[in-house]
Structure 1
């Protein structure tokens, strides 16, 4: 009797809480708990930042005396370095140890003529070229070595301050007992309370998707089936985003996609689909999958006109373009949601848009998505983490907080190529989302640059050497 009463004491409030949350998700309402939770996290992060800065100042104070005692040695090293640059030799020390042992014959001495004093022959003069013609390439090469503009877009975004997650190589959680206590409490909350609850709600979302779309598919009347399919689509993704404690802020809702066409957005995460689908109904396009994604695809396809390709069909550009044209030609179909980058970028930039969806025709609805990385890194590095690993990281993050901007619809202008149109849409999305607009192809993280790109660079480099 005791255990039954105890079980009822915990189960009944839990069932009531879950039911209340699902009902709020279905009607897209909130009582403000998630936003209050996010504000509380911001205050905790700020306290952590101040504690880390205070600990850093104390550390600097402790090592200050040691730095002062070694200052004379540093000055001697600086004198040695200056002397070595001018003469190519090092200042001998009492014990014979030096920083670098350099043979003086490798560098010109004062007795040797400078290279500029040597008279060149007419033949050498004809072959000479000015090095400054290619200094831009040298500068770009050095910059790429220091920080590759492409590779850095496929790594986790760096945070200005620690967010109390252990996904860092610095052990901030042990700098003081207060931070350690907060971190341990947060760990327990995330892994033993939030994670089981989120997994449970996510499975409920999948179950609702299967059951609701199956029921909608059995409705014989088309005029009734369309609004029911729209409602089941939104409810499915609203429940799934609630399982991640998602806080989504939509801007410029007057530009929300309406009617057939293409909704084009930057791509950071598989969650982009769920984020956008909480507010608008889309037709999804992609390759057929198995497992969890395959189950969700089959459930959605029962009630809505989604476009799924087999692996061989997805490689046929003409077949894909024909399916897209057929879909947008029907004004009753919802807009197609497309991510033209073709891969996930780390929430800092927008990379090259593929031209396929921009040459089909029809209206383009641009959308910019920007995640707040302080609460959890939404970027999916598919080359490093599997889908299940990524979902595990999302379930154990603090929350998913993002902003979504709907932008005015755009049309292809007369005489404008599909590539120029794609770049124009990309520029608008990057500007609104505060992202860096890059020309590079996101597929460079998986393959080498195209031959055409290398040949263009070689031709430009040859022109510079010739002095053109």
Structure 2
């Protein structure tokens, strides 16, 4: 009896899954994901109102029982203010003491050693203030932690824990937990497995075609279908803006939040990738993609050789038949709140640069990959147990290096455009500071800047 019921249920279930995969493969949508996201927004809004109501009731109750015995004054805790502080930065900096680019400070280093410096204690106060602010809250460490949410998104792994504030919220959280772990996650794992197998088979078949326009057209369609299926594994809802500026050749640079950035962009167009060879799950995808289209993969030792990287990059860009190459100049994942220093290597090659800004909606799931804390499989597990991955992609007008403009200045100009469009904070700090200590050159630049402030007029 039980086996018959399972067989009866299995047929429509497999048919439904096949239908969804087919829609993803042909890049069509019947509006299920958007309707799902809109439903989540209504649930989140209801949860926000319920949490605020419960917090105000608790505040009134506690305010009646708490009094200051010494002063006889009633002490009322402002929970609303706590919420605001918890979701924003603690310090508002009036002036940030930052070093200038190294190319502009070499002459200054030499000249500063020859001049006599008179010490004035008042000129040190700005540095003391900046140092204390950095100890309390620095601009670098906070960029490699989960982004603060303005309202709770019903996930216990976020930094808000309201699942037991009222029985209604508890009920919604329990139902959501069951849906995510018993329905969505198994379906997503199945779709991901099918997508990886399909990508491997398709790229292997396409690899036997002769190079030419027909192969490029087939690769474009095949990769679009394969990545469309993979996007279903995380319930991705992607909105592309300014599609007229979509890259067609040259170099495409984007801010970097997660490995999913590649998936997000490859769903809309075909790119060549550059990076270090990996093993495991990423290695399977790298080998599959290399069979279908030209990519640049380096061994660990080669990736550190800037000359080798630049030469292979120039060779790829010089061939008009190659698809645009996708580069993340930050070199590491940032937590969707800011853009950090762009490496100048990709801006020295020459030619056109296509900036792309990617911004994820953290209410549905945190797309940031903290590689120091989670492995790739742990990260995929978190993505598949999130509500969804919702993001916006802006294609920005192509940019060119101006006459007399250094590669560093060009990189900073492109970075500023991406940060402005994505609503991200534009920072000068190197993202590699999360793995290594500050370079000696940066310390010397700060010392020179400090010495210039101490010079007597």
- Asked if Structure 1 and Structure 2 have the same fold, meaning a TM-score greater than 0.5 normalized by the shorter chain, the answer is yes
Partner Cα separation in structure 1 for residue 314 and residue 211 of structure 2: 26
For the structure 1 residues 452 and 7, does the alpha-carbon distance in structure 2 shift closer, same or farther, using more than 3 Å as the test? same
1:370 aligned partner: 359
Partner Cα separation in structure 2 for residue 466 and residue 425 of structure 1: 35
- Cα deviation 1:208-241 (Å, max 9, x = unaligned): 1111111111224633221111111111211111
- Corresponding position: 1:282 with 2:271: yes
1:110 aligned partner: none
2:164 aligned partner: 174
Question: Retained in 2: the 8 A contact 1:430–1:437?
Answer: yes
- Corresponding position: 1:137 with 2:127: yes
- Corresponding position: 1:35 with 2:24: no
Q: CA deviation at 1:73?
A: 5.3
1:16 aligned partner: 15
Structure of greater relative contact order (alpha carbons < 8 Å, 6+ residues apart): 2
Q: CA deviation at 1:128?
A: 8.2
Partner Cα separation in structure 1 for residue 63 and residue 295 of structure 2: 65
2:175 aligned partner: 185
- Corresponding position: 1:393 with 2:382: yes
Question: Retained in 1: the 8 A contact 2:338–2:424?
Answer: yes
1:26 aligned partner: 25
* Structural mapping, 1:321-360, within 5 Å: 321-360=310-349
Partner Cα separation in structure 2 for residue 211 and residue 307 of structure 1: 21
Question: Retained in 1: the 8 A contact 2:224–2:266?
Answer: yes
RMSD: 1.7
- Cα deviation 1:176-220 (Å, max 9, x = unaligned): 111100000000000000000001000111011111111111224
Moved more, 231-240 or 40-49: 231-240
Q: CA deviation at 1:278?
A: 0.2
Question: Retained in 2: the 8 A contact 1:370–1:433?
Answer: yes
* Structural mapping, 1:154-173, within 5 Å: 154-168=144-158, 170-173=160-163
Partner Cα separation in structure 2 for residue 223 and residue 154 of structure 1: 42
Moved more, 395-404 or 227-236: 227-236
For the structure 1 residues 185 and 413, does the alpha-carbon distance in structure 2 shift closer, same or farther, using more than 3 Å as the test? same
TM-score, normalised via structure 1 length: 0.86
Partner Cα separation in structure 2 for residue 464 and residue 220 of structure 1: 64
- Corresponding position: 1:147 with 2:137: yes
Question: Retained in 2: the 8 A contact 1:265–1:338?
Answer: yes
Q: CA deviation at 1:427?
A: 0.4
Moved more, 287-296 or 333-342: 287-296
What count of residue pairs does the alignment treat as equivalent? 416
Aligned equivalent of 1:426, options 405, 415, 421: 415
1:207 aligned partner: 197
Partner Cα separation in structure 2 for residue 34 and residue 327 of structure 1: 37
Partner Cα separation in structure 2 for residue 456 and residue 51 of structure 1: 52
TM-score, normalised via structure 2 length: 0.88
Partner Cα separation in structure 2 for residue 368 and residue 291 of structure 1: 29
Gaps of 5+ in 1: 76-126
- Cα deviation 1:244-295 (Å, max 9, x = unaligned): 011000000000001x311100000110000000001000111111111111
User: Which stretches of structure 1, 4 residues or more, deviate above 4 A after TM superposition?
Assistant: none
1:245 aligned partner: 235
Q: CA deviation at 1:357?
A: 0.5
Q: CA deviation at 1:56?
A: 1.1
Gaps of 5+ in 2: 75-116
For the structure 1 residues 193 and 71, does the alpha-carbon distance in structure 2 shift closer, same or farther, using more than 3 Å as the test? farther
Question: Retained in 2: the 8 A contact 1:133–1:467?
Answer: no
1:62 aligned partner: 61
Rg larger for: 1
Question: Retained in 1: the 8 A contact 2:253–2:354?
Answer: yes
Q: CA deviation at 1:74?
A: 6.2
- Cα deviation 1:42-97 (Å, max 9, x = unaligned): 1111111111111111111111222236363569xxxxxxxxxxxxxxxxxxxxxx
- Corresponding position: 1:229 with 2:228: no
Partner Cα separation in structure 1 for residue 158 and residue 398 of structure 2: 41
Q: CA deviation at 1:303?
A: 1.1
- Corresponding position: 1:72 with 2:52: no
1:97 aligned partner: none
Partner Cα separation in structure 2 for residue 352 and residue 408 of structure 1: 21
- Cα deviation 1:126-163 (Å, max 9, x = unaligned): x9843221221112112111211111111110001110
Question: Retained in 1: the 8 A contact 2:356–2:394?
Answer: yes
